[in-house]
Amino acid sequence: MIKKAHLLFALLTLLPFPAFARDCAEKDLNVAMTSPLTNMPVLDQDGSGSCYGHSAATLINYELLANGGAPFTGIHPLYGAWVEKYVNSTIKSDGLDSGEAVDVISSLKKKGYCSEIEVEKRLKKLKVDCAKGTTDAQLLHILELIYDNYSSFSFNPYANAVESAKKARASKKDYHITDCQIESVAAELRLKDMINIPATALLSKLFEGCKHEDLKVGEPKEEHIGSDEHMLNNVDNALNRDKPAEISICSKMFTDPNFKLNGVLPSVNRGSLLNIPSGCGGHSVVITGRKNVGGTCKYLLRNSWGSLWKADTATECACILNTGKYLDVCPDASIVREYLGCWFKEDILGKNIFGTTSF
């Protein structure tokens, strides 16, 4: 009996997509004027590898706004990524460039948060001289370079931190920041007596006086194991409850429609090295809609690459026109104020998802 059940499970996982009857009832969280998404800007993570922080912020801010919160009082995505790396975890050695949305949510639930407006005000104070015009993403990356190279045992911690940060920038080939920006930020930090301290202390000093609110959202549910179908079902479950879903994907699918995970047994973590092919370009995005087009289910994918982003492989993208009108399929880029995402067929999406998170 057990053997038969195993065999049936194995056969089911080998079946191609159309064999599954999908619930593809139309759901677009961008449509209703009362939707939290109408007050949530499309973000551009720029040169920071904080996609997971952006997705986490989208899920959290959606929840906060749905529960009556005011716009721009939610989570700053980069603050979320920083807290996850430097405050909640003491043993992680990876940089801001990798992480998971669920960890950001858990960290903020434990540590509380400083609102987006307050975070921006404080980051602005470090943008002086060469660092004027520095984006928040660049600034966080500069802080990361400086504090990753902090050592209290150094004879001259300031000079050591700056020189090490510059060397790290050169070796990482960080094109999106300059040595002059690093020097300006470091000089400002020294003026504020914040250079010779560990990263965790920087956070509490930089955000001193900022009211750290308790994050009152539910427990996020994440999954990394299961078939393509199972991953899409997780997305459906969230959408059916009028909530967006975070998905971890290979961003290569934006340029190559044939790209897919290796597809080893569903019992293996889809995000493991066994499953992730070379060139995947791991990324975290949010699904905000679903519709049935000629019997095929399509999902609306919201990215964090700016409000004029469109995927090469997507033929349909949703937008807000210059007139303020929302269209789920936009005909002409010249009349678009901002794109809200692009539609992807279920098979293309399903074979590239290696994790889901939702409330």
Q: Residues in the site for another protein, rule: CB under 8 A? A: 38-52, 72, 96-99, 133, 135, 173, 175-176, 251, 255, 278-285, 304-310, 312, 322, 333-334, 337-338
Asked whether the beta carbons of 105 and 82 are under 8 A apart, the reply is no
Q: Give residues with Cβ within 8 angstroms of 85, minimum separation 6.
A: 92, 94, 95, 96, 99
Tell me which amino acid residue 139 is.
L
C-alpha–C-alpha distance, residues 74 and 116, integer Å: 6
Q: Write down the least CB distance from residue 174 to another protein, Å.
A: 9
Instruction: Please say which residue, 136 or 229, places its beta carbon nearer to another protein.
Output: 136
Instruction: Please say which residue, 168 or 201, places its beta carbon nearer to another protein.
Output: 168
Q: Write down the least CB distance from residue 245 to another protein, Å.
A: 16
Q: Write down the least CB distance from residue 167 to another protein, Å.
A: 17
Asked whether the beta carbons of 139 and 126 are under 8 A apart, the reply is yes
Q: Write down the least CB distance from residue 121 to another protein, Å.
A: 15
Q: Write down the least CB distance from residue 15 to another protein, Å.
A: 31
C-alpha–C-alpha distance, residues 217 and 91, integer Å: 26
Instruction: Please say which residue, 215 or 280, places its beta carbon nearer to another protein.
Output: 280
Instruction: Please say which residue, 135 or 227, places its beta carbon nearer to another protein.
Output: 135
Q: Is 134 exposed, middle or buried (0-12, 13-18, 19+ CB in 10 A)?
A: buried
C-alpha–C-alpha distance, residues 283 and 301, integer Å: 12
Instruction: Please say which residue, 152 or 258, places its beta carbon nearer to another protein.
Output: 258
DSSP 254-294: GT-TT-------TTS-TTSTTT--TT--EEEEEEEEEEEET
Asked whether the beta carbons of 322 and 301 are under 8 A apart, the reply is no
Q: Write down the least CB distance from residue 304 to another protein, Å.
A: 7
Instruction: Please say which residue, 38 or 160, places its beta carbon nearer to another protein.
Output: 38
Asked whether the beta carbons of 161 and 150 are under 8 A apart, the reply is yes
